[in-house]
Structure 1
Amino acid sequence: MSNLVANIVGSAAAVCSITSFAPQGLKIWKERDASAVSLKTYSLTVTCFVLWVIYGVMTSAWPVTVANACALVMASGVLLMKWRFRNGDPEAS
């Protein structure tokens, strides 16, 4: 029973981590404005997820690896949009 509870908690944490970036990403994409996003904060966040993925691979902790790799993709998307829309929508000019 303990292992089942741990897996449920871990799965819930993974889903929360992954989906937590979706609202910010959708807002930036829709408005073509990333001025409210901190470049330093998202750079640190992406770095953290990279390190978690490396840790997961090194320890063969595949749930940690997969969950953090998915969160890395989401956070990287926000970071890339921050860079792309740093001066507003490039296609609006």
Structure 2
Amino acid sequence: MSADFFGYTATSLNLIMLIPQVAQTWKTKQTKDLSLTTLTIFSIACLLWVIYGVIKSAIPVILANTVVGALNLTLIFLKFKYRS
């Protein structure tokens, strides 16, 4: 297997990994168990990966981390929207 196989597989998994959490949070409106610290650090990490991807012209890295970052920011938004 080539390195590209692993890169594109990881990118695909990154693109879908937060969708179940966003969907469940949207449906249940329960966010008390979501750690704001973790979500914030994850958002910063995604931003840094996007910057790295731009510097290296790595489209899969840019794409995956832009989408994952957006999903993560959605969770942060929902955390504030549904807090009790």
Same fold at TM > 0.5:
yes
Instruction: Give the alignment of 1:13-92 within 5 angstroms.
Output: 13-87=10-84
Gaps of 5+ in 1: 88-93
After superposition, give the CA deviation of every residue in 1:12-49 in whole Å (9 maximum; x if it has no partner): 11111121111111111001111110000000001100
**Structure number, greater radius of gyration:** 1
After superposition, give the CA deviation of every residue in 1:32-80 in whole Å (9 maximum; x if it has no partner): 1111100000000011001100111122122211111111111111111
**Alpha-carbon distance in structure 2 between the residues aligned to 1:83 and 1:7:** 38
**Alpha-carbon distance in structure 1 between the residues aligned to 2:80 and 2:47:** 19
Q: Partner letter of residue 54 of structure 1?
A: I
TM-score normalised by length of structure 2: 0.90
**Alpha-carbon distance in structure 2 between the residues aligned to 1:18 and 1:74:** 9
Q: CA RMSD in A?
A: 1.2
Q: Partner letter of residue 69 of structure 2?
A: L
Q: Partner letter of residue 64 of structure 1?
A: V
Gaps of 5+ in 2: none
**Alpha-carbon distance in structure 2 between the residues aligned to 1:86 and 1:33:** 8
State the percentage of identical aligned residues: 30
- Which structure: greater helix fraction? 2
Q: Partner letter of residue 7 of structure 2?
A: G
TM-score normalised by length of structure 1: 0.82
